[in-house]
């Protein structure tokens, strides 16, 4: 009688065990990791991120069928670095658009703007403020004086451009941490400051400062009543490719957040609480940004952003000219 060799017997026994296991647990394709099933979106905790905060808190992303995780960063540069390193999928509004453009210039085509936020004389974000005791009424009176601004090349470049455009000759722009600007004004260490909200509103509430001009980048830098597009929400090219199934839901949820902010105005500021340091009476008063969703971008918007980029190229902040139009997301 023939008998199985030990090696063959073991092979058959193994095959039978596998067959038994498969009969109980049918084969499934490898499952996606938790991170592959959701979008990781970085944000800087400032008021411009409001549509994203509202969409998160009102469940607008979930309603659109996508899971989004919000990840806070201490600065816009950290958000951009995380995007370029592939640690997050994109960012919310408020991240400096020039920082995003600079990053894309290193790897062209890697970043696409899905929504931009802007300021002008109607949607107030940028202001020049002076101490309440100051007699200064016009920016041109600040010639030769010390002007504070927030940290980073973006703030410094725009502060200098505003001073130059408004006729303040030889103004000395001093870079300070945002939290130190109002104390420096109060102590008389600086004569004025180029600030972004909510610093101006805080100064008014605390009776430290008053505003002498608002919408200053539009008025003194860009001209032609062009909006200052200062920040953007964006997705990386890797996300658009590797998580394509999640993108429509994200865009729909974000658009719903923008529409909510437009409809509710200052009431929407309730969603600044928890995402930013803005709360209480301040949250009720911080001005709303203007927003342009990816599907709403007009040639005039591209023109406005291109002019900003050209100024940064002229100031040698950008090593070479950057095309604004190529950075906007376009639905396939």
Q: What is the pTM of this model?
A: 0.82
- Kindly state the average pLDDT of the residues 93-115: 95
Residue 301 has pLDDT above 90, yes or no: yes
User: What domains can you pick out in the chain, each with its CATH number?
Assistant: 35-121+227-327 (3.40.190.10), 126-214 (3.40.190.10)
Residue 19 has pLDDT above 50, yes or no: no
pLDDT recorded at residue 37? 85
pLDDT recorded at residue 13? 44
Residue 213 has pLDDT above 90, yes or no: yes
pLDDT tens per residue, range 219-255: 999 998 899 999 999 999 999 999 999 999 999 999 9
Distance CA 190, CA 307 (A): 30
pLDDT recorded at residue 92? 98
pLDDT recorded at residue 22? 30
pLDDT recorded at residue 152? 83
Express as a percent the part of the chain with pLDDT over 90. 78
Backbone angles phi, psi at 116, to 5 degrees: -120, 150
Distance CA 249, CA 170 (A): 50
pLDDT recorded at residue 36? 65
pLDDT tens per residue, range 22-74: 333 333 333 445 556 899 999 999 899 999 999 999 999 999 999 999 999 98
Q: Is 8 exposed, middle or buried (0-12, 13-18, 19+ CB in 10 A)?
A: exposed
At 277, is the pLDDT very low, low, confident or very high (cuts 50, 70, 90)? confident
Residue 78 has pLDDT above 60, yes or no: yes
Distance CA 191, CA 188 (A): 7
Residue 108 or residue 35, greater confidence:
108
At 256, is the pLDDT very low, low, confident or very high (cuts 50, 70, 90)? very high
Angle among Cα 70, 127, 157 to the nearest 5 degrees reads 80
Residue 10 or residue 128, greater confidence:
128
| CA nearest to 199, candidates 209, 190, 213 | 209
């Amino acid at each position: 009688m023939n008998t199985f060799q030990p090696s063959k017997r073991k092979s058959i026994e193994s095959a039978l065990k596998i067959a038994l296991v498969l009969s109980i647990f049918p084969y499934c394709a490898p499952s996606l990791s938790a991170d592959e099933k959701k979008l990781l979106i970085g944000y800087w905790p400032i008021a411009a991120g409001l549509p994203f905060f509202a969409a998160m808190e009102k469940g607008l992303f979930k309603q659109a069928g996508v899971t989004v995780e919000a990840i806070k960063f201490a600065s816009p540069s950290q958000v951009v670095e995380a995007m370029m390193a592939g640690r997050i999928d994109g960012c919310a509004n408020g991240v400096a658009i020039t920082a995003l453009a600079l990053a894309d210039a290193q790897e062209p085509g890697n970043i696409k703007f899905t929504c931009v936020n802007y300021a002008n004389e109607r949607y107030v974000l940028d202001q020049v403020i002076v101490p309440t005791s100051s007699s200064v009424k016009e920016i041109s009176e600040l010639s030769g004086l010390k002007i504070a601004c927030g940290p980073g090349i973006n703030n410094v470049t725009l502060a200098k451009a505003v001073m130059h455009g408004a006729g303040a000759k030889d103004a000395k722009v001093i870079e300070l941490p945002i939290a130190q600007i109002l104390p420096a004004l109060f102590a008389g260490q600086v004569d004025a400051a180029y600030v972004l909200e909510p610093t101006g509103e805080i100064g008014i509430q605390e009776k430290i400062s008053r505003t002498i001009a608002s919408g200053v980048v539009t008025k003194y830098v860009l001209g032609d009543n062009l909006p200052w597009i200062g920040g953007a929400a964006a997705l990386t090219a890797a996300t658009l490719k590797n998580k394509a199934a999640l993108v429509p839901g994200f865009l729909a949820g974000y658009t719903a957040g923008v529409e909510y902010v437009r409809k509710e105005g200052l009431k929407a500021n309730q969603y600044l609480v928890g995402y930013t340091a803005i709360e209480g009476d301040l949250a009720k008063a911080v001005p709303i940004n203007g927003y342009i969703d990816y599907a709403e971008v007009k040639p005039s918007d591209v023109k406005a952003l291109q002019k900003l980029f050209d100024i940064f190229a002229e100031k040698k902040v950008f090593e070479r000219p950057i095309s604004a139009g190529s950075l906007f997301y376009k639905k396939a």
